[in-house]
Structure 1
Amino acid sequence: MTNKITHLVKLSVGTETVDDLAAWQGQKRVQTADGYPRHITRMWPRRESEVLSGGSIYWVIKGVVQARQKILRLDEVIGQDGIRRCAIVLEPELIRTAPALRRPFQGWRYLDPKDAPPDLSESRAKDDDLPPDLSAKLAEIGVL
């Protein structure tokens, strides 16, 4: 029996571009001891097995889904306040996706694979980032 795959979608707060996200994840303080980027969140996914069956985290930058990363594992992290948190451990490679508008939300949300934006082709993934407002406008009218 194969497990259903579920993705996560998350706002990348404070970043302007995919390159900004990559630079932030390159900092030692946001990496695991084995060197993988991670994102720490308060909530542990209840659908853990679905997320770990091939799921990715889709990053919303300036109101537009622009990239994804494969989720490798979920690590428990206990903060200085004693509260248990979830570290979403990620593959270092950021895969650019077709732009998809996303309204602001708190935390992360589940994303069904059928609703996930497709990856950009290799040739398009190497294109320069469009300004965030232009990328959002193109996504709004359905131009990839």
Structure 2
Amino acid sequence: MTNHIHLVKLCVGVDSVEQLAAYIEAAPGETRGHTTRMWPKQEEKLLNGGSLYWVIKGVIQARQEIAGLEEVIGADGVRRCRILLRKPLIRTANALRRPFQGWRYLKPEDAPADLPKGRENEPDLPGELAQALAEIGVI
């Protein structure tokens, strides 16, 4: 039995892993934050080796290790959670995901594997092709 859990989140406004990677690398420091409205109830498990898996164009394609959670109070006075994510972006095997709002927990046994050494810098497949291959279990 594992003692950690992951998150999965849609990467809105990003068209490719390369675009997300460039955005991440441009951020200063060793971590970057992603702010969300809800605070994860399974905080302890997330901080015990969890990652945030990014869904790009309907397919999980990459992940980032979760470094921490911090409270952020917005200009509207609402408490939010900033998920601190380590660099670099880690490419994963493609896994089809239906659209959803917010984030969802992802059990370690359901998480796609990291791409093997040498494949992590391969260019993205076109979105429709990646989705079709993921649907039939090829990638």
SS in structure 1 at match of 2:63: strand
* Counterpart-to-counterpart distance in 1, 2:30 and 2:49: 20
* Counterpart-to-counterpart distance in 1, 2:17 and 2:26: 15
8 Å CA contact 1:65–1:102 kept in 2: the answer is yes
TM-score, structure 2 normalization: 0.94
2:47 to 47, 52, 61: 52
Unaligned runs of at least 5 residues, structure 1: none
2:8 corresponds to 1:9: yes
Shift of residue 71 of structure 1?
0.1
The alignment covers a number of residue pairs equal to 139
* Counterpart-to-counterpart distance in 1, 2:14 and 2:128: 14
8 Å CA contact 1:66–1:97 kept in 2: the answer is yes
8 Å CA contact 1:74–1:89 kept in 2: the answer is yes
TM-score, structure 1 normalization: 0.91
Unaligned runs of at least 5 residues, structure 2: none
SS in structure 1 at match of 2:138: coil
| CA offset digits 1:40-89 (Å, max 9, x no partner) | 00000000000000000000000000000000000111111111100000
Q: Give the 3 Å change call, closer, same or farther, for CA 3–123 of structure 1 in structure 2.
A: closer
8 Å CA contact 1:3–1:53 kept in 2: the answer is no
TM-align CA RMSD: 1.6
8 Å CA contact 2:4–2:45 kept in 1: the answer is yes
2:36 to 41, 65, 68: 41
Over the matched positions of the two proteins, sequence identity in percent amounts to 58
2:100 corresponds to 1:101: no
2:73 corresponds to 1:73: no
* Counterpart-to-counterpart distance in 2, 1:41 and 1:27: 21
Q: Which amino acid aligns with 2:38?
A: M
8 Å CA contact 1:76–1:85 kept in 2: the answer is yes
* Counterpart-to-counterpart distance in 2, 1:67 and 1:27: 17
Q: Which amino acid aligns with 1:143?
A: V
* Counterpart-to-counterpart distance in 2, 1:53 and 1:75: 15
Q: Give the 3 Å change call, closer, same or farther, for CA 128–112 of structure 1 in structure 2.
A: same
8 Å CA contact 1:78–1:84 kept in 2: the answer is yes
